[in-house]
Structure 1
Amino acid sequence: MKKLFKIVLNTVPRPLLIRLSYAVRPILAAYLKGDQFTDPIDGKSFKTFLPYGYGNQRSNVLSPSTLSLERHRLLWLYLKNETDFFTGQHKVLHFAPEQAFYKRFRAMDNLDYTTTDLNSPLADVKADICNLPFENDSFDIILCNHVLEHIPDDTKAMQELYRILKPGGFGVFQIPQDLNREVTFEDDSITDKKERAKIFGQYDHVRVYGRDYFDKLRSIGFSVEEVDYTASLSENDIETYCLAKGEIIPVVRK
């Protein structure tokens, strides 16, 4: 199964993959039903989660029911337990909306919810993150997760995110990050997809972010909280929810 998932991830275009997953998901959820691991997003439990990864695959990380990964489940828990995202009235912009969240956030009466992306079939507004069609100070909350590592000019993208966030608002800008690396690495001369997957972790990534990511956000004007939310959870919860211990949630404010 791991080999099959790897082939599918690396050959099927992402928009088509999103559409196909809606048909496959109920079958996988029924087949893997159990009581060993739980997805906190929908509360369903399974005997195992699925493997996932474009290069080196991680075992037991993809929820069969919501298709959430470790970072999605961690973010859900953080938003639910530490913010008023689910109760307050908020105008929200969600970049490249994840399937695990999309329908749930869309159905929430307290959110004025807009999605955006260049290619996603789930996007309300097709837009370039470096040239957004929104007014200054437009949104209370911006979710932009695992997007910036795809953007050649991430400085311009960050500036646009800062521009459209309301003063007093907050955003979550998760990225794949090597916390052992002090400085972000990027090299535009690497164009081969296999080589990019090997070096950057995925064929369509353009950099590997280091610990300096947080300071780059600060240089744009954001205040940044580096939230290690797993540190506030029990070992049992981390294991049951299949979370990545020590993963940092970058919470930014304007």
Structure 2
Amino acid sequence: MKKIFKIILNTIPRPLLIRLSYLARPILAFFLKGNKYTDPIDGKSFKTFLPYGYGTQRTNVLSPSTLSLERHRLLWLYLQNETDFFSAEKKVLHFAPEQAFYKRFRHLKHLDYTTTDLLSPLADIKADICNLPFEDNTYDIILCNHVLEHIPDDTKAMQELFRVLKPKGMAILQIPQDLNRNTTFEDNSITDKKERAEIFGQYDHVRIYGRDYFDKLRDIGFNVEAVDYTASLSKEEIITYCLAEGEIIPVVYKS
């Protein structure tokens, strides 16, 4: 199973993979029904979750029903339990919208919800994150998760995110992060896709963020909260929801 999923992830273009996944989800959910693990996004339970990873595969992390990963389920719980995202009127900009969230956020009538990306078939507006077609101080909330590691000029992308966020607005900017690293690692001389996948975790990643990611966000002008939300959950919840214990949610604000 792990080998099959690895081949699929590394051979099928992401936009096509998104479309095909709509067909696969109900089949996977039906055959994996159980009561050991639960996806908090839709409340459905399974005997196991699926493996996932472009390089080294992580076991028991991909929800059969929503196709959410650890970070998606953690973010859902944080938004649901710690913010007014699901109740207050907000103008929201969502980059590279994840399937686990897309329809659910779209159906929330209190949200003025816009999606954007260069390639995703789920994007309302095709746009370059380094040159956004939005006015200054437009959005109350920005969701931009696992995007910045793909962007060569992440400083410019962060500046654009800061520009279009309203004063007192909140952005959640999740990235794959190695908390054992003091500084972020980049090496543009590595061009072989296989080698990049081995070093950066995915062939289309351009860096591995270290703990200095938070300092870079502060330098842009954001107020930063590095939230370890799993510390607020029980061990049982972490296991049941298949979360990554200690994963940090970077929550930033524009003062």
Partner of 2:121, secondary structure, is coil
Once the two structures are TM-superposed, the CA of residue 43 in structure 1 deviates from its matched residue by 0.1
Once the two structures are TM-superposed, the CA of residue 85 in structure 1 deviates from its matched residue by 0.2
Q: Which residue identity lines up with residue 178 of structure 2 in the other structure? A: D
Residue number in structure 2 paired with 1:158:
158
TM-score after normalising by structure 2: 0.99
- Residues 97-122 of structure 1, C-alpha deviations (whole Å, 9 max, x = no match): 00000000000001000000000000
Residue number in structure 1 paired with 2:144:
144
Whole-Å separation in 1 of the counterparts to 2:142 and 2:131? 16
Once the two structures are TM-superposed, the CA of residue 34 in structure 1 deviates from its matched residue by 0.1
Whole-Å separation in 2 of the counterparts to 1:129 and 1:195? 26
Q: Which residue identity lines up with residue 70 of structure 2 in the other structure? A: E
Residue number in structure 1 paired with 2:194:
194
Whole-Å separation in 1 of the counterparts to 2:170 and 2:69? 23
Residue number in structure 2 paired with 1:11:
11
TM-score after normalising by structure 1: 1.00
Q: Which residue identity lines up with residue 140 of structure 2 in the other structure? A: D
Matched positions, count: 254
- Residues 11-54 of structure 1, C-alpha deviations (whole Å, 9 max, x = no match): 00000000000000000000000000000000000000000000
Unpaired runs of 5+ in structure 2? none
Residue number in structure 2 paired with 1:93:
93
Whole-Å separation in 2 of the counterparts to 1:95 and 1:151? 13
Whole-Å separation in 2 of the counterparts to 1:73 and 1:188? 32
Alignment of 1:22-33 (within 5 A): 22-33=22-33
Whole-Å separation in 2 of the counterparts to 1:2 and 1:64? 14
Whole-Å separation in 1 of the counterparts to 2:171 and 2:111? 15
- Residues 141-191 of structure 1, C-alpha deviations (whole Å, 9 max, x = no match): 000000000000000000000000000100000000000000000011111
Whole-Å separation in 2 of the counterparts to 1:194 and 1:121? 27
Once the two structures are TM-superposed, the CA of residue 137 in structure 1 deviates from its matched residue by 0.1
Q: Which residue identity lines up with residue 138 of structure 2 in the other structure? A: S
Residue number in structure 2 paired with 1:249:
249
2:227 equivalent to 1:230: no
Whole-Å separation in 2 of the counterparts to 1:90 and 1:148? 23
Once the two structures are TM-superposed, the CA of residue 198 in structure 1 deviates from its matched residue by 0.3
Residue number in structure 2 paired with 1:35:
35
Whole-Å separation in 2 of the counterparts to 1:114 and 1:191? 34
- Residues 202-231 of structure 1, C-alpha deviations (whole Å, 9 max, x = no match): 010000000000000000000000000000
Residue number in structure 2 paired with 1:77:
77
Residue number in structure 1 paired with 2:57:
57
Whole-Å separation in 1 of the counterparts to 2:62 and 2:193? 24
Residue number in structure 2 paired with 1:181:
181
Q: Which residue identity lines up with residue 106 of structure 1 in the other structure? A: R
Partner of 1:72, secondary structure, is helix
Partner of 1:197, secondary structure, is helix
Moved segments of 4+, more than 3 Å: none
Q: Which residue identity lines up with residue 74 of structure 2 in the other structure? A: L
Among all aligned residue pairs of Structure 1 and Structure 2, give the percentage whose two residues are the same amino acid: 81
